[in-house]
Each structure stands twice: as structure tokens, then as C-alpha cells.
Amino acid sequence: MRATGSVLDEIVAGVREDLARRQAEMPLDRLRTHLDGAPAPRDPMPHFRAPGSSVIAEVKRKSPSKGALAEIPDPAALAAAYQSGGAAAISVLTEERRFGGSLGDLRAVRAAVDVPVLRKDFIVESYQLVEARAAGADLALLIVAALDDDTLRRLHDEARELGLTVLVETHDEAEVERALGVGAELVGVNSRNLKTLEVDPDTFGRLAPLIPGDVVRVAESGITGLADVERFVGEGADVVLVGEALVRDGDPETAVRTMTGVSRA
């Protein structure tokens, strides 16, 4: 059921190595003690379900497809600008090797904003969900292509038990079916193929009709400006997740504001 021989496999292999190191430094039972000090989780779904487009604005230093995107000396300041622009949530890349992120970035953002924060990473173990919640995350990403059915269901259920809202990411028809099969209420359609890293802007429009109207639809990747937001909203998106275009924009606050509140024709 998983993509094999792909960029995704290479990323996940590195994630598992880094995860093993963190687990050795901080055993799960000790990590769980940090949950007591974590702020109560914020629920993004009312904002996501409100009329007009919602924006998940991303703190993203680099990517496997584009390399370095932007110097972000102060992720908290960038996140604050996103919040001022009306972002419904802030996504923070925490994967180290390919994206240059960290849990430190997530903690800094959490301390700087009041809106919900998403841990965007390649989550393959329960430990990462506990890490996310302990660091103050309100949402966690689960990528269907990286998980078999049993693991996807288990992690989805465990995330919910921790109070996390789960963004379940899909790339094709079979993955949408699998996401809905675990009861996902927030489904992302990523137009970037994780096997090749190529973007097909028609992916969202093809898959969105397969997602029921009571499930919040998130368009991911390939969003460079207002025209793309208008297209995806017209195809059924409730939320757009935008990274590269915002971190490279000289005025991220205004850029977020421009993308927020777009209504279906």
C-alpha cells in the first residue's frame, strides 16, 4: 500500500534514524510527562468550516524539490505576520534533513501565536504524536502514502486521543478512499507526487469530488498566488496550505490576507 523506491521512502528512512536518536535521548514515558505542561489544544475546524477560504500558512525553510527557499532567522516573527494576515493555522515543518525544520521551530511559533499550529512531518510512530502535543501542536499530519492501513488507523486514533486534529494527506483516488476509511474529517489533497516530486495542478480537481461535503478539503502544493486559490476554491477547497509562496514573499502578512476569504462562485 505504500509508495516504494521513491523519494518518500528515502525521507522516511532518514526520519526513522532521527527518531531513534530522539527516543534514546528522551524515552516515551519521560516525554509523556511533558504533556502536563502543554497548552490545551486549539480546534481549527470551526474556522476551516466557515464561509470563504481559510489559509494554513507554512514556516518552511527548504524542500527536497526546490532546495533552500528562504532564510527564516525568526520563525516566530514570520508566524506572527501570518496570524496578523488572518491565517487560520500555522504549519511548521519539523523534519530536519530535507526541510531544515525542528521541534524548536514549532515551540517558538507556538509561543508567538494564538491560532492553531500544525506539526508537518513524516509521522510514522506514536512517539512523534506525543512529541507534537508536548511541543504545543494542535494538529498533526498523517501522509497516507507513508503508512499501511493498520498504522494509519492506529495513529489517527491515537492523535485524536491526544486532542490533536488530524490532517490526512492524499495523492490519488485509492488514498482518498483509505483516508475516509479511517474516519478522517480533514483531508488534504497534495498535488505534488511524493514519488517524483512533480506537481500536477489537476490533482485536486480530480480528487475533490470523491470527498464528502461534510469533510473539510485542503488543497496542498502548487499555490503561488490568488489565482491558484480561486481555482482550488472553485474546485471545492475549504482550506489552502501555502508554504513556498509565502516564505518567499516580501510581505507575507498581505499575501495571507489576499488568499483568505475567497468564496466559491
Domain count, the chain: 1
Based on the number of CB atoms within 10 Å of its own CB, is 59 exposed (0-12), middle (13-18) or buried (19 or more)? buried
Mapped onto helix, strand or coil, the DSSP state of residue 200 is coil
Angle between helices 75-84 and 103-112 (to 10 degrees): 40
pLDDT at 1: 40
Contacts of 49 (CB under 8 A, 6+ apart): 216, 238
pLDDT at 69: 67
Give the residue from 40, 77, 89, 79 showing the smallest Cα distance to 59. Answer: 79
User: Could you give the CA distance from residue 60 to residue 75 in angstroms, rounded to a whole number?
Assistant: 9
pLDDT in tens, 91-130: 999 999 889 899 999 999 999 999 999 999 999 999 999 9
Burial readout 107-131 (b: 16 or more C-beta within 10 A, e: otherwise): bbbbebbebbbbbbbbbbbebbbbb
E strand or H helix that includes residue 85 = none
- Asked, for residue 42, whether it belongs to a domain, the answer is no
- Asked, for residue 132, whether it belongs to a domain, the answer is yes
- Asked, for residue 118, whether it belongs to a domain, the answer is yes
Based on the number of CB atoms within 10 Å of its own CB, is 247 exposed (0-12), middle (13-18) or buried (19 or more)? buried
Average pLDDT, stretch 189-206? 89
The model carries a pTM of: 0.94
- Asked, for residue 265, whether it belongs to a domain, the answer is no
In the predicted structure, residue 36 carries a pLDDT above the cut 80: yes
CATH of the domain at 149: 3.20.20.70
pLDDT in tens, 217-227: 999 988 999 99
- Asked, for residue 142, whether it belongs to a domain, the answer is yes
- Asked, for residue 49, whether it belongs to a domain, the answer is no
- Asked, for residue 44, whether it belongs to a domain, the answer is no
Mapped onto helix, strand or coil, the DSSP state of residue 242 is strand
* Per-residue three-class SS string for 124-166: CCHHHHHHHHHCCCCEEEEEHHHCCHHHHHHHHHHHHHCCCEE
- Asked, for residue 252, whether it belongs to a domain, the answer is yes
Q: Which domain holds residue 141?
A: 7-35+54-259
Annotated catalytic sites, by residue?
58, 60, 120, 169, 190, 220-221
Determine the straight-line distance between the first and last CA of the chain, rounded to whole angstroms.
37
Angle between helices 7-25 and 126-134 (to 10 degrees): 70
